[in-house]
A and B are shown apart, each in its own frame.
Chain A
Amino acid sequence: EDQVTQSPEALRLQEGESSSLNCSYTVSGLRGLFWYRQDPGKGPEFLFTLYSAGEEKEKERLKATLTKKESFLHITAPKPEDSATYLCAGTNFGNEKLTFGTGTRLTIIP
């Protein structure tokens, strides 16, 4: 059974303090690994798709990386507006369904 596990559950950082969020997956035949950002009371917003080990993608202060077993979302010099829940999800070649992790709730303190 496909499984996606995110850690930590919650992370509090000072503004400017860089860190990483982890997403480990056991998805047989990974087709794609997705990162989303979710603000309270809103739907998730797409950030990145990663398809193969070694791939990296960047957007502003965020960089996503992928290995054969896990993905990291690195946040560099975060600002309070980066506070949100970050969700990771994987899909395999066998079906059209995404398996989601439970998310990391990130709080950036000014």
Chain B
Amino acid sequence: DGGITQSPKYLFRKEGQNVTLSCEQNLNHDAMYWYRQDPGQGLRLIYYSQIVNDFQKGDIAEGYSVSREKKESFPLTVTSAQKNPTAFYLCASNRDGASPLHFGNGTRLTVT
């Protein structure tokens, strides 16, 4: 079955450490996205990529970095510069901007 795989499901880190969240898709979608979800807030876009080796900042990119070396993969690094990293992170993909997003099941990151 095609879909998006995010790993790990839960991640715990100490403050000051960088951490990388994995996102892999086998839907053959060109576009991939990272969102952050916090209680009481809508999903907020961190970064997106419409093609391999190219990506754009979303609305809340500060303290995050991404790479897109392969069509299937779009890892997100949460750096120590992110002031409030504890959140639920969602990866998504779609065929193009007008198509529905397909989401993974998220990674819950806790930084203490």
Chain A residues at the B interface, C-beta cutoff of 8 Å: 4, 31-32, 34, 36, 41-46, 49, 87, 89, 91, 95-103
Contacts and interface: CB of A to CB of B under 8 A. Distances in A.
B87 interface: no
Best-buried of B6, B96, B101, B108 by chain A (most CB within 10 Å): B101
Nearest to B3: A43
A34 B92 CA distance: 14
Contacts of B50: 96
B48 A96 contact: yes
Contacts of A43: 4, 6, 90, 92, 103-106
B100 interface: yes
Contact of A102 (B6, B42, B98): B42
Interface of B: 4, 6, 31, 40-45, 48, 50, 58, 90, 92, 96-98, 100-106, 108
Given A42-B105, A46-B100, A87-B43, 15 more contacts: A31-B97, A32-B98, A34-B100, A36-B101, A43-B6, A43-B105, A87-B42, A91-B98, A95-B97, A96-B31, A97-B48, A97-B97, A100-B42, A102-B42, A103-B42
B20 to A, nearest CB: 19
B45 A97 contact: yes
B87 to A, nearest CB: 13
B43 to A, nearest CB: 4
A42 B48 contact: no
Contacts of B4: 43
8 closest Cβ pairs, A-B complex: A43-B103, A96-B97, A100-B42, A100-B43, A46-B100, A102-B42, A43-B105, A44-B103
A31 B103 contact: no
13 contacts: A4-B42, A31-B97, A31-B98, A41-B108, A42-B105, A43-B90, A43-B92, A43-B106, A96-B31, A96-B96, A98-B101, A100-B43, A100-B44
Contacts of A101: 42
A54 to B, nearest CB: 19
